[in-house]
Amino acid sequence: MSADTSAAIGPVEGGSHYDVENPAPYIEAPRKRTGKTPRATRGNFEMAAWLFMRLSGVVLVVLVLGHLLIQLFLDGGVSKIGFAFVAGRWASPFWQVWDLLMLWLAMLHGANGLRTVINDYAERANTRLWLKGLLYTATVFTILLGTLVIFTFDPNIR
Amino acid sequence: MPAGTLYRGREGMWSWVAHRVTGVLIFFFLFVHVLDTALVRVSPEAYDEVVATYKTPIVALLEYGLVAAILFHALNGLRVIAVDFWSKGPRYQKQMLWTVVGIWVVLMAGSLYPVLGHAARELFGS
């Protein structure tokens, strides 16, 4: 406080400036963790989900754009796709791992995104419960189905 | 429209809306896509038959739409990461959005022939 301001106000009744001899009362910081603070019950799930969206997002940019380039752009685009083309690509472990990683990351990334959308727009607790139940069921089913297809693919099925 | 539904508007909100809409659309396509690919475990004929619908002109247009959604979601996703992790990200979020839109327009123009060329040849002859 500048000198001219305090001069204009005059001495405050019964008060003096805080100094080493006269310290201000200690006020504990809000939400400070102390021995009496109850243990966190929710953990860091939402933070982990937030981080997962960014990490998986960067990887998916490479995996998905590479996938699009091969399937829809190069070598005749969609016209060349067929059982023989799939068999040729999954003969290589590299593309099996590529597709497996893409399947898992994209499904989990999309499921978490839709979970956020449901939380935002479904106002009744019961509606959220059912929509998320449906979402998780469909997600688990699709991930397992896709994984099974990649691992059990048989080029000589016929 | 109920009061308070429209958030601030402008680039920040509309890019967020577009990111949501494209994300949900891509996710729903992903379900269908895993199911159609699973047909390789049924028989080569079943798979080729379903993939044949992907080669029709109308579905080619949908594929162009899919490319549009994925490209926007990918580019804007990188912008979101920059906003979150780059110290100057929030300050340049508008410029980054218009950069995203610019790259998106160029890539979409470049995708016209590779994605829709076969449909044009089928419709108008080669």
User: Considering CB atoms only, which of A54, A72, A152 is closest to B63?
Assistant: A72
B44 touches A: beta carbon within 8 Å? yes
Q: Is residue A93 part of a domain?
A: yes
Cβ contact A99:B75 at 8 Å: no
For residue B70, the chain A residues in CB contact (below 8 A) are: 64-65, 68
The number of CA neighbours under 13 Å toward the Cβ of B85 is 11
The per-residue pLDDT for A146 is 96
Position A36 scores a pLDDT of: 77
- Residue in this structure with the two tokens 């380039």, named with its chain if needed: A69
State the Cα–Cα distance between residues A152 and A16, nearest whole angstrom: 82
Among A61, A73, A145, beta carbon nearest to B34: A145
Q: What is the number of domains present in chain A?
A: 1
Within a domain: residue A96?
A: yes
Does residue A79 sit within a domain?
yes
Per-residue pLDDT, B9: 74
The pLDDT tens digits of the residues spanning A48-82 come to: 999 999 999 999 999 999 999 999 999 888 888 99
Minimal-distance CA residue of chain B relative to A59: B74
pLDDT at residue A11 in the model: 59
Percent of all residues in chain B with a pLDDT value above 70, rounded to a whole number:
93
Nearest-Cα distance to chain A for B71, in Å, is 8
Q: Round the CA-based radius of gyration of chain B to a whole number and report it.
A: 19
pLDDT value at position B122?
A: 85
- Count CB-CB contacts under 10 A for residue B59: 15
CA-angle at B77, arms to A89 and A134, nearest 5°:
75
Task: State ipTM.
Answer: 0.90
**Nearest CB neighbour to B43, from listed A60, A61, A157:** A157
Among chain A residues, CA nearest to B71: A65
Question: pLDDT band for position B18 (50/70/90)?
Answer: very high
Q: Which of residues 123-142 of A touch B (CB under 8 A)?
A: 138, 142
pLDDT in tens, B35-83: 999 999 999 999 999 999 999 999 999 999 999 999 999 999 999 999 9
Residue A17 lies in a domain: no
> Looking at residue A13, what is its pLDDT?
61
In this prediction, residue B87 carries a pLDDT of: 93
B117 interface with A at CB cutoff 8 Å: yes
- The per-residue pLDDT for A1 is 45
Of B41, B80, B118, the CB nearest to A78: B118
Cα dihedral B18, B21, B26, B27, rounded to 10, equals 140
Q: How far is CA B31 from CA A60, A73, B91, B98, in A?
A: 16, 22, 37, 31
- For chain A, residues with pLDDT lower than 70 are 1-16, 41-42
Domain extent, residue A87, equals 48-152
Q: Give chain B's domains with CATH numbers.
A: 10-124 (1.20.1300.10)
A20 lies in some domain = no
Domain membership flag for residue A38:
no
| Euclidean distance between CA atoms A98 and B40, whole angstroms | 18
CATH number for the domain including A121?
A: 1.20.1300.10
Please give the C-alpha separations between residue A58 and each of A53, B34, B59, in angstroms, as whole numbers.
Answer: 9, 21, 28
